[in-house]
Chain A
Amino acid sequence: MPRINSSAELEEIRKDILSSRDPDKPCITLCSGSACQATHCKKVAAALEQEMEKQGLKDKVHFRKTGCHGFCEKGPIVVIYPEGICYLQVKPEDIPEIVSQTLMEKKVVERLVYVDPTTGEKTTFEEEIPFYKNQERLVLGPNTKIDPKSIEDYIAVGGYQALPKVLFEMTPEQVIAEVKAASLRGRGGGGFPAGVKWEAARNAIGDPKYVIVNCDEGDPGAYMDRSLMEGNPFCVLEGLLIGAYAIGSHEGYIYVRQEYPLAVENVTFAIKKAEELGFLGKDILGSGFDFTIKVHQGAGAFVCGEETALIMSLEGKVGEPKARPPYPAVKGLWGKPTNINNVETWANVPLIITKGAAVFTSIGTEGSKGTKIFSLVGKVNNTGLVEVPMGVTLRDIVYKIGGGIPGGKKFKAVQTGGPAGGCMPEALLDMAVDFDQLTKAGSMMGSGGMIVLDEETCMVDFARYFLNFLADESCGKCTPCREGVKQMLKILTRITKGKGMKDDIELLEELAEVAGSSALCALGKGAPNPVLSTIRHFRDEYEAHINGGKCPAYSCKELISYYIDPDKCQACMSCGKKCPTEAIDGGKNLIHMVIQEKCTKCGSCLEACPARFGAVRKISGEPVPAPVPEEARTIVRKSKQI
């Protein structure tokens, strides 16, 4: 494609692309995001290419490798258009059947469609699957329709409509006014209004000005930014360009976490492609506006997600946060006015410009407009990325979209906001999820991680897990965080080991208050959240650990023992075979016993014991029953008696 030099030329090209594409021509798409690559989608792709070649379908069917579809639980996902037939967990060996049955004869391969885990009902079409049906995928939607390496695909779905509108029809002030009117709040953590931030950077004195995409998505359990960056990089670039125009910046940076190689690859490719076509570089679309982008990889430091630390890292220094003010809008990268937003925030911008602030604000709640992508993970049936309007209840997300808790276990809590977030117990399931409600409940939106916990998660251990994470990631610059987090971790660790002391809860609360009010950056200020919110909602679990030496969730290693019930054991040797430390004593027709001294509490025996026997169980807060006398250990089978 040649370089595009005007808005009219762009529309001409869009028309050409659309007219060259027959909407009735079959198209088969395969999810090729990172999570699906881990489930070997590359082998599926190779098998599909081979089979289409073999059957002479190469020119008759379009094959598109798309970014993440979001339904990661069931990947790799194959969708066949125009019908929208959706196949889940596709393996290379399924491909010949898909090609011969569906592509050639238009028949559905029943065994690959979605089956409801509770009702057993089958759903053939993508949009009817409950996981998708109950979402509103304004930002994530195009991921399933475009090849991230094809700028034509992006143009075909309506991409690059906002950019010419901004460049040719709006002044920078009007763009800022529109984003302000849309009340777009930052999707990366704080929820600060993006328009206000942009305005501050525009009004700040200094030249040059910088804009940055924060893709240092460090919150464990959150990966929506990666999916957007991998699956629809052009959209993020378009948003960034619009912001740059509004702020008056000609240089941008994309800071990507080092653990996301595919995101780096795709966005680097997208930048190159956009430069070739005149969407980046000098005189963009003939408007006279210049803008260049550099990609910078992180080197593995959670704190670099914090904007001032990120800037330090961009400058090639150690990523330690700085006290604000001055805010980056005034004094940021190389001391110049800088605006940082995260990936999802930037990805919302083209949408606001094309649809208008009025449409955007018609979605969501009073204080939080638009949609939010959550990564729904943990103990939930449908793990994946979920985009819903702000204000949807937790219950709808966990049950309607997420399909509830697996294995008939009981729901315990949802954790949001990343390591410095908090937990919402069952009583808060009907809470509407938006920035303000989450804060009110003692948690926060964060980047949108949503971890579902069931009865088997120990809340004290869960708090310990986060504090361990934060202690490890604390940069060490300020004392309240460096020492305070460490002390809280020490106390939590001793509680999970059954060595908790009488006043430990009060001591934790006191430490939390100090760290929360005096730490330098959001990492230290938020560090008390997991402690305080678990104490607030699950104080009884803390007390059980401290007073009774018992872990009610049967999770803390030091407080549990595995025990084989002699009345239930059928001496089948299943557990013995699976035990990695040979801690099972027993043999054929000899009731098994756990040798407690050898047991590493890995739980393999519990998983191995056939459900119909259910002989292995966990014990906590009470001694392990005495072993059965040797003479009573032999099982006499009924069949042998006759």
Chain B
Amino acid sequence: MDNDKIEQIIDKHNSEAGSLIQILLDIQSEFHWLPKEALNRVSEKLHVPMSKIQHITTFYKSFSMVPKGRHEVHVCMGTACHVRGAQRVLDTVQDQIGIKPGETDVDLKFSLETVNCLGCCALGPVMVVDGEYHGNIAPAQIVDTLKIYE
């Protein structure tokens, strides 16, 4: 793990306790999860107890306490996607990669997450893989779409 990177992130926010969430967000976006060493460092530098950090990391959805897979699959469960069959899309994705939302497979290939709304309601149902949008996706297309990811 890159300790300098963590120091940089903390320094960028002037080591302010009020910036705790912003610091954690930056760490999450850098490493795609929150390694324990990083949290220990944040706790020391900001003088915030670990229990408080844990409270925050488990409350907000953006944070992950476990490493993520190589490919992040997000299925939009927004209302517009829901009425256009998002549940069927999610069920098929779960069947295909064998994990539930919030989980990562043992090979660290895929992580699956649901999101509340991506705001691309015209494209619903939407599945996003590594930032690539797959709009108006039907369950039948999912097998082929996920096949290309290694």
Contact = CB atoms under 8 A, between A and B. Distances in A.
B91 A600 contact: yes
A260 B21 CA distance: 16
A635 B120 CA distance: 45
Contacts of A313: 21
A227 to B, nearest CB: 8
Contacts of A302: 116
B55 interface: yes
Interface in B90-138: 91-92, 95-96, 115-124, 126, 133, 135, 138
Interface in A204-260: 217-223, 226, 258-260
Contacts of B80: 220-221, 377-378, 383, 451
A231 to B, nearest CB: 13
A258 B133 contact: no
Interface string B40-66: 000000000000000110011111000
Contacts of A453: 83
A301 interface: yes
Interface string A25-49: 0000000001100110000000000
B119 A607 contact: no
Contact of A602 (B19, B20, B83, B92): B92
Contact of A600 (B60, B92, B135): B92
Contact of A38 (B22, B56, B126): B126
B116 A258 contact: no
A578 B142 CA distance: 10
Contacts of B126: 38
Contacts of B10: none
A377 B60 contact: no
Contact of A465 (B19, B55, B79, B121): B79
Nearest to B114: A472
Q: Nearest 4 pairs between A and B by C-beta?
A: A300-B61, A223-B119, A299-B60, A220-B78
Contacts of B120: 34-35, 38, 72
Given A218-B116, A462-B83, 18 more contacts: A34-B119, A35-B119, A72-B122, A220-B116, A221-B80, A300-B63, A318-B56, A377-B79, A378-B84, A453-B83, A462-B82, A466-B79, A475-B59, A580-B95, A580-B96, A580-B139, A600-B92, A604-B140
Interface residues of B, number: 48
B5 interface: no
Interface in A607-621: 607-608
Contact of B63 (A38, A299, A415): A299
B39 to A, nearest CB: 14
A317 B56 contact: yes
A602 B79 contact: no
A457 B60 contact: no
A318 B126 CA distance: 30
Interface string A417-454: 00100000000000000000000000000000101010
A375 B62 CA distance: 25
Contacts, number: 153
Nearest to B63: A299
29 contacts: A35-B122, A38-B118, A75-B122, A220-B82, A220-B116, A222-B117, A222-B119, A298-B60, A300-B60, A300-B62, A313-B21, A314-B18, A316-B16, A316-B19, A316-B21, A318-B55, A318-B56, A319-B59, A319-B60, A375-B121, A377-B121, A378-B80, A383-B121, A469-B77, A557-B87, A580-B96, A602-B140, A607-B138, A608-B140
Interface in A134-187: none
A580 B147 CA distance: 13
A223 B117 contact: yes
B83 A580 contact: no
A53 to B, nearest CB: 27
B88 A377 contact: no
A221 B83 CA distance: 11
B121 A72 contact: yes
Contact of B139 (A222, A258, A297, A602): A602
A16 interface: no
Interface in B10-42: 16-22, 24-25
Contacts of A462: 82-83
Contacts of B142: 580
Contacts of A319: 59-60
A282 interface: no
Contacts of A602: 88, 91-92, 139-140
Given A220-B78, A223-B119, A223-B121, A299 B91 contact: no
Contact of A259 (B21, B60, B115): B115
A39 B21 contact: no
Contacts of A72: 120-123
Contacts of A296: 22
Contacts of B82: 220, 462, 465
Nearest to B16: A316
Contacts of A604: 138-140
Contacts of A218: 116-117
A116 interface: no
B133 A38 contact: yes
Contacts of A469: 77, 116
A416 to B, nearest CB: 11
Interface-centre pick from A260, A298, A318, A601 (highest chain B CB count, 10 A): A318
A84 interface: no
Contacts of A601: 88
Nearest to B94: A600
A151 B81 CA distance: 35
A607 B140 contact: yes
B69 interface: no
A221 B117 contact: yes
A302 to B, nearest CB: 7
Contact of B85 (A39, A383, A466, A603): A603
Contacts of B22: 296-297, 316
A14 interface: no
A11 interface: no
A35 B126 CA distance: 11
A623 to B, nearest CB: 23
A73 interface: yes
A369 interface: no
A259 B113 CA distance: 13
Nearest to A418: B79
Nearest to B24: A299
Given A378-B80, A578-B140, A600-B92, A384 B122 contact: yes
Interface string A446-490: 000101010001000010011001000001000000000000000
Contacts of B122: 35, 72-73, 75, 377, 383-384
B58 to A, nearest CB: 9
A540 interface: no
A476 to B, nearest CB: 9
Contact of B124 (A316, A377, A457, A580): A377
Given A299-B63, A316-B20, A317-B56, A38 B79 contact: no
